[in-house]
Amino acid sequence: MGRTLFEKVWDDHVVTETEGATLLYIDRQLVHEVTSPQAFEGLRLAGRPVHRPDATLAVPDHNVPTTDRAHGISDPVSALQVDTLEENARAFGVPIFSMNDIRQGIVHVIAPEQGFTLPGMTLVCGDSHTSTHGAFGALAFGIGTSEVEHVLATQTLLQKKPQSFLIRITGTLPHGTTAKDLVLALIGRLGTDGGTGYVLEFAGPTVRSLSMEARMTLCNMAIEAGARAGMIAPDAVTFEYLKNRPMSPRGEMWDRAVAAWQALASDPDAHYDRTMDFDASTLVPQVTWGTNPGMVLPVTSRVPDPETAPDAVSRANIKNALDYMGLRPGTPLDSLKIDRVFIGSCTNGRIEDLRQAASVIRGRKVAPHVSAMVVPGSGLVRMQAEKEGLDRVFSEAGFEWREPGCSMCLGMNPDQLAPGERCASTSNRNFEGRQGKGGRTHLVSPTMAAAAAVAGHFVDIRTWS
Amino acid sequence: MEAFTKLDAVAAPIDRANIDTDAIIPKQFLKTIKRTGLGVSLFYDWRYLPDGKTPNPEFILNQERYKGTRILVTRQNFGSGSSREHAPWALLDFGIRAILAPSFADIFYNNCFKNGILPVRLAEDQIDRLFRDIQATVGYRIAIDLSAQTVTLPDQTRWSFEIDPFRKKCLLEGLDDIALTLTHKDRVRQYEERRKGEAPWLFMHHGA
């Protein structure tokens, strides 16, 4: 019987079957400052080296400031964490893109950009949004710090094989909708635990038509449906993106690699444990209204009423969410006034996202009561955007143009919401307190966020003029 | 890692679904470079009043009747969101050794086993009953026997639970995974040699 993309990558990485778990070889590990210090400390205590420094890449991203970087990090606790990463990278021989390196940025933006991520790989990072790299046909997933240490020491992980889940997407994305709306709508249907225990494979003509940036947005949020990973079979779009990247194979090796990558697509008779079809042709721009990414509706909807919930647990969920978000049932989503706009993150901080956002605000101004910022996903994204003049489009409209990092996606640096502030955000999580204690996050696409900044409230980008 | 064999302790109910790791341990506490000392910040935004210091008397873990709790009873998809192992570190540092829920998020579930915490999946109706019973009885205790895979209630009702045999063994013995994997060192070398022939581009120095 045929095999799925996931099964092919899995099978290629089985070192041995141990008693009850598979020892899986890990081709690449990305390391950032938040989830790695205890792992390196563990190695140090046990006197163990890093097994393959050449398969490891470190970068500080969560704590880095997005302004005035040349002056260093003012918060001493953040500074210590970033310095610790630098020191560990040096001591263990791990390559690092330091804070002021032009290649620095969010782990999940820089690795594809460099060609560090390649099809058919296993790739891990102490970060749940590692699922992003599945867009290349890699098996990529987030792990905890103990497993970070395990991979550093052994280049392997002990794993139970997840199940496979095919999501087949058909229909052309309507004007005004993006991969972000698509993935939010999928999570809305699946729920935040609908993918638990599965590796999702996104397939179908709609997925084939997406750019690599859009595919990364889709796979990035697979974790928000609870999935172990999201994957997309590599094709000509993938190869075109990767060709001539600094770490991509070259010459004859490139041709050999492409031939191997072309064989990764799922076989026609492959079996999936679960399948779902999704018609993208009627998709409407999405806005989250609650405190997890599954609490999402089309922008044309109203805030839901807990009283109409089917059971006590979901009634309580909706009620808690509305209390935290300061929302009343029945309020039209496009009437919600916002205070802040954040464009960036590993979900939507790539060049295509910035181009899309810029395209809807050209020649307009941010509403007087709104404070808006753009944080490119990497130094190279920032440089490219500046080459295209996007920084001027944003600045002239009244957006702040910042330096790269995770920034207000989780607010470990000074970029945070104040209590009660309502934010249109292109990030991936609207959990309580995620962007700052008491902050209220609504997840949207880059164009929806940019338009909301100008209008001062959410708008339906399809009809907004 | 401390082994987990048996536990008989007071249980505390947190009646919310989809509790995410941002709620378990907010971001400002992730800046630590240590594993310990996070217990005081567990469920920080819920546990303290807006001044960030005064315990919120409404929050379950601040109530006298749940003092010394070592078992959490909660709802579906506990531990969703980020991969931060700071979440189980904070729970462990606070004293939690077992969590009973209908379901857990994958990465969190996995992280528990690396830290001597036992996550137990029970049916929705069993969890419903626990919420009712705990509410009704001050000092309600639950006994967990990992070896027998049972949860025993004060009235001697006994439920069995499923757990992967390998994870069970590691937890019972408090095994260090890395030492275990290093016993397969030769296999890893053999694998690498074979893969260098099949997919040499994976082994080329990427020259960062």
Domain limits of chain A? 5-161+235-259, 163-231+266-282, 288-463
A409 is in an annotated binding site: yes
Q: Do A362 and A372 meet the contact criterion of CB atoms below 8 Å apart?
A: no
Q: Above pLDDT 70, what percent of chain B?
A: 98
Residues of B in contact with A41 (CB under 8 A): 33
The stretch A400-429 carries a mean pLDDT of 97
Tell me the CA distances in angstroms from B12 to A305, A338, B74, B97, B139, one per residue in order.
Answer: 30, 38, 9, 12, 9
Under CATH, domain A288-463 is a member of which superfamily? Aconitase, domain 3 (3.30.499.10)
In this complex, the residue of B45, B181, B206 whose CB is nearest that of residue A437 is B45
Interchain contact B58–A (C-beta under 8 A): no
Assess whether pLDDT exceeds 70 at residue B187: yes
Question: Is there a domain that residue B201 lies in?
Answer: no
The stretch A451-458 carries a mean pLDDT of 98
| A288-463 matches A5-161+235-259 in CATH topology | yes
Separation CA A324–CA A305 (nearest Å): 15
Question: Is there a domain that residue B208 lies in?
Answer: no
Question: Is there a domain that residue B207 lies in?
Answer: no
Assess whether pLDDT exceeds 80 at residue A152: yes
* Residue A315 burial (10 A CB sphere; 0-12, 13-18, 19+): middle
Question: Is there a domain that residue B189 lies in?
Answer: no
Domain holding B129: CATH number?
3.20.19.10
- Closest residue by Cα to residue A93 from A35, A152, A27, A143: A152
Tell me the CA distances in angstroms from B5 to A18, A96, A232, B11, B173, one per residue in order.
Answer: 23, 42, 42, 17, 8
Q: Above pLDDT 90, what percent of chain B?
A: 95
Number of domains present in the structure of chain B: 1
Cβ distance of A54 and B205 shorter than 8 Å: yes
User: SS3 for chain B, per residue?
Assistant: CCCCCEEEEEEEEECCCCCEHHHHCCHHHCCCCCCCCCHHHCCHHHHECCCCCCECCCCHHHCHHHCCCCEEEECCCECECCCCCHHHHHHHHHCCCEEEECCECHHHHHHHHCCCCEEEECCHHHHHHHHHHHHHCCCCEEEEECCCCEEECCCCCEEECCCCHHHHHHHHHCCCHHHHHHCCHHHHHHHHHHHHHHCHHHHCCCCC
Separation CA A155–CA B33 (nearest Å): 23
The stretch A203-214 carries a mean pLDDT of 98
Give the pLDDT score at A63: 96
Q: Mean pLDDT for chain B?
A: 96
Assess whether pLDDT exceeds 70 at residue B109: yes
Question: Is there a domain that residue B65 lies in?
Answer: yes
Topology (CATH level 3) of domain A5-161+235-259: Aconitase; domain 3 (3.30.499)
Which amino acid is it at A99?
M
- Residue A28 has what DSSP assignment? E
In this complex, the residue of B33, B77, B204 whose CB is nearest that of residue A226 is B77
Cβ distance of B178 and A46 shorter than 8 Å: yes
pLDDT by residue (tens digit) across A214-235? 999 999 999 999 999 999 999 9
In this complex, the residue of B115, B184, B202 whose CB is nearest that of residue A16 is B184
Residues of A in contact with B41 (CB under 8 A): none
The stretch A157-180 carries a mean pLDDT of 97
User: What domain range includes position B139?
Assistant: 6-174
Give the pLDDT score at A20: 82
In this complex, the residue of B28, B34, B187 whose CB is nearest that of residue A16 is B187
Torsion-angle region of B116 (φ positive above 0: left; ψ -120 to 50: alpha; else: beta): left
pLDDT by residue (tens digit) across A94-129? 999 999 999 999 999 999 999 999 999 999 999 999
Assess whether pLDDT exceeds 90 at residue B1: no
Cβ contacts of A77-83, under 8 Å, gap ≥ 24:
A77/B31, A77/B32, A78/A412, A78/A413, A78/B31, A80/B31, A80/B33, A81/A33, A81/A34, A81/A37, A81/B31, A81/B32, A81/B33, A82/A33
pLDDT band at B205 (very low <50, low <70, confident <90, very high): low
Task: Give the helix ranges, DSSP H, for A341-389.
Answer: 345-348, 351-361, 379-387
pLDDT band at B204 (very low <50, low <70, confident <90, very high): confident
Separation CA A404–CA A401 (nearest Å): 10
Residues 69 to 98 of A: which have CB under 8 A from any B CB? 75, 77-78, 80-81, 84, 95-97
Question: Is there a domain that residue B96 lies in?
Answer: yes
Assess whether pLDDT exceeds 80 at residue B94: yes
Q: Above pLDDT 70, what percent of chain A?
A: 100
Cβ distance of A196 and B105 shorter than 8 Å: yes
Question: Is there a domain that residue B91 lies in?
Answer: yes
Residue of B nearest to A157 (CA): B181
Question: Is there a domain that residue B205 lies in?
Answer: no
Assess whether pLDDT exceeds 50 at residue A289: yes
Assess whether pLDDT exceeds 80 at residue A271: yes
Give the pLDDT score at B208: 42
Distance from CA of B186 to the nearest CA of A (A): 10
Residue of B nearest to A121 (CA): B202
Q: Mean pLDDT for chain A?
A: 97
Give the pLDDT score at B177: 86
Which amino acid is it at A113?
E
pLDDT band at B206 (very low <50, low <70, confident <90, very high): low
Element containing residue A15 per DSSP (H, E): strand A14-18
Q: Which CATH architecture has domain A163-231+266-282?
A: 3-Layer(aba) Sandwich (3.40)
Residue of B nearest to A428 (CA): B81
Here the ipTM equals 0.96
Interchain contact A23–B (C-beta under 8 A): yes
Measured torsion, CA atoms of residues B121, A226, B116, B146, in degrees rounded to the nearest 10 = 20
pLDDT by residue (tens digit) across A43-100? 999 999 999 999 999 999 999 999 999 899 999 999 999 999 999 999 999 999 999 9
Give the pLDDT score at A465: 79
The stretch A352-356 carries a mean pLDDT of 98
Q: Do B177 and B167 meet the contact criterion of CB atoms below 8 Å apart?
A: no
Enumerate residues 6+ apart whose C-beta is below 8 A from B83: A35, A126, A127, A128, A130, A142, A143, A144, B21, B107, B111
